[in-house]
Structure 1
């Protein structure tokens, strides 16, 4: 199973995540987050990543121009977008993107376009890294092959996902020592568990 490690704030954590087997690294460009990283600092990390590791920028309620500008400066390959306030004009994005669905109920999942990929996270008042889990029963009898699951995942609960066909998992707080600082062993354990699923 593909794994994205989100909330990367420094080069060592990025390299440790890659060494552990991460397929993608997430950089938070939401300035109210404790995991926020300056776009130029993110660029310095991204430029040192090996091939086939995707860089993903996380944005919250931003204009398409802002997302385009930051992705260009930071060399992001994908924009992960929370657009609760309908500020993003997706037709004007220059960067490939994935929408984040902050699910409050199963109905939020049923109405999604089955042709698109989505990152599914549990709704919380704040944005990102709260460790709240989406109710797995919402996914029963659904095709999850284009869903990336986030929220409250750890190496110990990944086995609960085995009956679902999620495209990938996304983890932040579940592999941290503190907000913005990753734990190398936790990342290894998480990715190992994802590969065993």
Structure 2
């Protein structure tokens, strides 16, 4: 199972995550988030990363031009679209995109069924609320293209392994405080998700 550590705001956290085995790092380009990072700062962190690490830019209610401009300037490899988009919008982007499904019901997780997508629990605000999606919704569902997010921690990530998700995404579950990761939690989360 692949692991994305989201809400990276500094190089130290990025390098700890990579060294522990993270496959992807997430950078939040949504100014209202406590994990927001200025694109210029994100570009500096990315410049110091080793190769073969996926760099994911998270966007909320952003225009096509803004997404493309920021991704190019920061050398992102993927745009995570944390707002309601359709196939046309995704296809129109010059960068590969990952739609986010903010699930209120079991039916919601079938959206974008032919695509890789991130499934998070619906909350009125965007991301980092630590609310979990009901795992029973995934019983009997092909989860091979789903990245699960929302309310994951080192203590509970083991529970989701039986569903064979493509990956898991964590932010608040491995923080010391908003915007700063706890290295011990990061290492423990990745070990439990990938190696145990």
| TM-score > 0.5 by shorter chain | yes
Contact 2:161 2:193 in 1 (8 A): no
For 2:72, the equivalent position in structure 1 comes to 72
CA distance in 1, matches of 2:187, 2:48: 20
- Give the corresponding residue for 2:54: 54
* 8 Å contact kept, 2:7–2:35: yes
2:30 is equivalent to residue 30 of structure 1? yes
**Offset at 1:85?**
7.3
Question: Does the 8 Å CA contact 1:98/1:117 hold for their aligned counterparts?
Answer: yes
**CA distance in 1 between partners of 2:162 and 2:9 (Å):** 33
Count of aligned pairs between the two proteins: 195
Which residue of 1 is the match for residue 151 of structure 2? 152
Which whole-Å CA distance do the structure 1 matches of 2:34 and 2:100 have between them?
19
Distance 1:48 1:41 in 2: 11
Shift of 1:91: 2.9
Q: Runs ≥4 in structure 1, deviation > 4 angstroms?
A: none
Q: Which of 158-167 and 48-57 deviates more?
A: 158-167
Q: Which digits, 9 at most, give the CA deviation of each residue in 1:164-191, with x for residues without a partner?
A: 0100000000100001000101000000
| 2:121 is the alignment partner of 1:116 | no
1:162 CA drift (Å): 2.6
Hey, what's the Cα distance between the residues in 1 that align with 2:161 and 2:82?
A: 27
Partner of residue 8, structure 2? 8
CA contact (8 A) 2:85 2:99 kept: no
Alignment partners' CA distance in 2, 1:159 and 1:184: 19
* 1:162 to 2:161 alignment: yes
Shift of 1:122: 0.3
Alpha-carbon deviation of 1:160? 1.0
Checking the alignment, whether the CA contact within 8 Å between 1:61 and 1:85 is kept in structure 2 is: no
Q: Structure 1 regions of 5+ residues with no counterpart?
A: none
The structure whose residues are more often helix, as a share, is 2
Aligned to 1:127: 126
RMSD: 1.3
1:89 alignment partner, SS class: helix
Distance 2:23 2:162 in 1: 22
SS in 2 for 1:162: helix
Quote the residue 1:177 is aligned against.
Answer: 176
| Structure 2 residues without counterparts, runs of 5 or longer | none
| Residues 1:41 and 2:41 are matched in the alignment | yes
Deviation (angstroms), 1:65: 0.8
